[in-house]
Amino acid sequence: MPDQDLPIHAGKPLIPPTGPLLGQAPLSPEAAEAYLARARRDPEGYWAEIADELEWFRPWDRVLEGGFPDFRYFPGGLGNVSVNCVDRHARAHPDRVAVYWEREDGARETWTYARLLDAVARFANVLKSLGVRKGDRVGIYMANLPEAFVACHACYRIGAIYGVIFAGFSAQAVRERLVDARPRVVVAADASVRRGKRVPLKETLDAALEGVDSVETVVVVHRMDGEVPMTPGRDRWYGDLMAVASPDCPPEPMEANEPGFLIHTSGTSAKPKGLIHAGMGFLVGTYANTRWSLLPQPDDVLWCTADVGWLTFPIWALVGGLANGATLVAYEGALDWPDPGHFYEVLERLRVSKLFTAPTALRMLRRAGDAWLAGRDLDRLILISCVGEPLDPDTWYWSRDVLGGGRIFFNNTYGQTETGTGWTSSMVGMTPTKPGSCGHPLPGYQAEVVDEAGAPVPPGQLGVMTLTAPFPSLVRGVWGDPERYGATYFSRFPGRYNSFDAAILDPDGQVWVTGRVDDVINVAAHRIGTMEVEAALIGHPAVSEAAVVGVPDPVKGELPLAFVILRGGAQATPGLEDELVQRVADELGAFAKPHRVILTPTLPRTRSGKIMRRLLRDLAREGRVKGDLSALENPEAIELVRGLLGS
């Protein structure tokens, strides 16, 4: 029987940085290794070098003060995020495209850095005219619109604390976030579009605002046809306010540790947490993160496919991308609407060179079939980076060899809403990776995998991923509940940040994240991450996606239960389920065999496409779901899965 801690990474080759990225990289592979080693020895010196590349009104007094959970990076330093993301590039390259905006119905716009700066300054003055001051909260409820960039950076400019609310949330989920943050102003789009259907955001917001007494003004961005309900005395049109606003708004000097924004996370508890991120700390972390994981160049077009309501978009686009002076694609709607060919058409027409997406999106494209790629000139695409969930090696190879024509470098990353960056990654063009791994810890991050007692485990052994030293972009607190911050992230392993993710650090220094700690299954004393079983299933030619959870067993303690979605054109032939069970046994060992494989057309997902495995676990174990469901896009999948489990 194979060692239960090795199959996920054993035998995977190191893929060196190759192709055009080598010519773009500022460091040779040898120099990059030396750079990494120096940053590990002196992380404070590294972060000081990164921060010094940005603009500050006043230098910091010291690099780091304190430790977990009470730390401050660059205390005394004064700066402004909008200046670093917008002003400095508008001064140097006013006509450079900042944002190509695309909508699934064909609507599109081009925004230069000069245009973005003008709009940011004007809307900052609009917010001030509505009574918003430093420290006030502003809710932002819209999809991937240029005005979302404008609203967020206008808040940064005046020191307001913004909170982006995902455009796919229900009225109840929106209300929970508004009640928690108590914003003075909410900026909302009238509507959005998703798979050809109008999504009535303003009507949803109106329902959410019932009983919320903090909101004085709703600013409505008019983007879609159709009537928009407006409440007299409260609701104002964005266009009317912008038309009379001054384009001159001096930025507010912000101390490096002051809050910049809130983002609420969903989880097993009924109430989502409002995580506090420092404005300038987040800027420093994402500026470096985007550099290493995307290596932006002046002629690049970068497309981050995430929604502005999830932290992926602020990290690599809204803040990290703009801080690097990048040209970005902001896409509103479903990537595969009206068909999967639309995604490839946008890639080709905008000459996208670097794509940042989720493994789910790549699996969706792979499932649709390769015929949609026929005739497309995607030679500009030289890099695909991913984040968000475990990546199976089959999707890695398909993305590199089919979508990328064998020429691209595939860079998988790992991070959390709390870490504010994808802090494990390849330094693209400089350091290697492995198919399915998350790269290595980037400069400035100190990580260890530990056992249940908090002791570091040897390379190749599964444990809990922890971080042993603070870094600038790490979450600074939970809004309105400071005790929850320390109790959640630092009580289990004192002196460490607890990620709650199960991971392996292999002998080559590559990180393999297998899922949440709850997703580690203990089968007859054999510990295995659910990702390993999923990867074995996805390797079957008939399988597009798989989700595995552990269910109780009176003899073995737990057993894997697998949910499988077939590829387009694949048939659920007699014996397929047994064939899939045997495949897992052949690849991982008999101990890992699922006690059942359930074929299903769909699974519970977030709007970004992530499978909500905790809901599958709830259904399999208790027949009902628990916790926060605000991120769930397709509630009907709950009843479908419940029925399949009972069949």
Order the strands of the 217-221 sheet from edge to edge: 235-237, 217-221, 185-189, 137-141, 161-164, 259-265, 273-278, 477-478
pLDDT score recorded for residue 409: 94
CB 388 within 8 A of CB 360: yes
Q: What is the mean pLDDT of residues 85-95?
A: 98
- Mean pLDDT for 286-313 is 96
CB of 611 within 8 A of CB of 641? Answer: no
One of 3.40.50.920, 3.30.300.30, 3.10.310.70, 3.40.50.300 is the CATH number of 524-646, namely 3.30.300.30
The reported pLDDT for the residue numbered 5 is: 41
392: left (phi over 0), alpha (psi -120 to 50) or beta: beta
- State the pTM of this model: 0.87
Whether 443 and 419 have beta carbons less than 8 Å apart is answered as no
| More confident: 352 or 388 | 352
pLDDT at 515 over 90: no
Instruction: Tell me the CA distances in angstroms from 564 to 398, 550, 559, 599, one per residue in order.
Output: 19, 15, 16, 5
Exposed / middle / buried, residue 173 (Cβ in 10 Å: 0-12, 13-18, 19+) = buried
- Phi then psi for 65, rounded to 5 degrees? -130, 125
- Whether 1 shows a pLDDT value over 90: the answer reads no
Using CA atoms, how far residue 403 sits from 276, 407, 410, 493, in Å, is 38, 10, 11, 42
Question: Among residues of the chain, what percentage have pLDDT more than 70?
Answer: 96
Structure confidence at residue 246 as a pLDDT band (50, 70, 90): very high
Q: What is the mean pLDDT of residues 171-182?
A: 92
Lowest mean pLDDT among 80-84, 364-368, 506-510: 364-368
In angstroms, how far apart are the furthest CA atoms of the chain?
Answer: 73
Going by the DSSP 8-state scheme, the letter that residue 293 receives in this structure is H
- Report how far residue 222's alpha carbon sits from residue 332's, in angstroms, rounded to the nearest whole number: 15
Structure confidence at residue 3 (pLDDT): 36
Residue 250's pLDDT is what? 98
Give pLDDT, residue 93. 98
Region 322-349: mean pLDDT is 97
Per-residue pLDDT averaged across 200-228, rounded? Answer: 96
Contact 100, 107 (CB under 8 A): no
- pLDDT reading at 7 higher than 80: no
Record the tokens describing residue 301, joined without a space: 């077009």
Domain residue limits, the chain = 524-646
- From CA 413, how far away is CA 419, in angstroms rounded? 13
Residue 523 is predicted with a pLDDT of 80
pLDDT of residue 10: 60
Name the burial class of residue 128, with classes exposed (0-12), middle (13-18) and buried (19+) by CB atoms within 10 angstroms of its CB: middle
Cis peptide before 338 (omega within 30 of 0): yes
Per-residue pLDDT at 531? 77
CB-count exposure of residue 523 (10 Å: 0-12, 13-18, 19+): buried
In this prediction, residue 630 has a pLDDT band, given cuts at 50, 70 and 90, of confident
Q: What is the 3-state secondary structure (H, E, C) of 38-100?
A: HHHHCHHHHHHHHHHCCCCCECCCCCEEECCCCEEECCCCEECHHHHHHHHHHHHCCCCEEEE
Report whether 249 contacts 152 (CB < 8 A).
Answer: no
Give CA–CA dist 39/216, Å, rounded. 47
Q: Quick check: helix, strand or coil at residue 605?
A: strand
Q: What is the pLDDT of residue 525?
A: 58
Q: What is the pLDDT of residues 601-614, one digit of tens each?
A: 999 988 667 889 88
Identify the band that residue 541 occupies on the pLDDT scale cut at 50, 70 and 90: very high
Ramachandran bin of 131, using left for φ above 0, alpha for ψ from -120 to 50, beta for the remaining angles:
left
Q: What percent of the chain has pLDDT over 90?
A: 78
pLDDT band at 2 (very low <50, low <70, confident <90, very high): very low
Q: How far apart are CA 83 and CA 405, in angstroms?
A: 39
What sign does the dihedral 396-401-404-409 (CA atoms) show? positive
Residue 130: pLDDT over 70: yes
- Assess contact for 548 and 617: CB atoms under 8 A: no
Give the bridge partners for 566, in sequence order.
543
- The H or E element containing residue 447 is strand 447-450
Sign of CA dihedral 411, 417, 419, 421: positive
Q: Is the pLDDT of residue 552 over 70?
A: yes
**SS3 call for 17:** coil
Provide the pLDDT for residue 11.
66
Report DSSP letters for 235-289, one per residue.
EEEHHHHHHTS-S--PPPPEETTSEEEEEEE--SSSSPEEEEEEHHHHHHHHHHH
In this structure, are strands 557-566 and 71-73 parallel, antiparallel, or unpaired? unpaired
What one-letter code names the amino acid at 387? V
Closest CA to 342 of 98, 611, 102: 102
Q: Helices (DSSP H) in 93-170: which residue ranges?
A: 113-129, 146-158
3-state secondary structure of 103: strand
Residue 9 pLDDT more than 70? no
* CA 79/CA 60 separation, integer angstroms: 10
Write down the mean pLDDT value for the chain: 92
H-run or E-run covering 332: strand 328-332
Position 8 confidence tier, pLDDT thresholds 50, 70, 90: low
Contacts of 16-20 with C-beta under 8 Å, sequence gap 24+, read 16/432, 17/409, 17/426, 17/428, 17/429, 17/430, 17/431, 17/432, 18/409, 19/382, 19/407, 19/408, 19/409, 20/382, 20/407
| Phi, psi angles (nearest 5°) of residue 383 | -150, 135
From the list 480, 152, 154, the residue with the least C-alpha distance to 320 is 152
* pLDDT tops 60 at residue 363: yes
Whether 101 has a pLDDT exceeding 50, the answer reads yes
pLDDT digits 0-9 by tens, 399-429 = 999 999 999 999 999 999 999 999 999 999 9
Banded model confidence at residue 390, pLDDT cuts 50, 70, 90:
confident
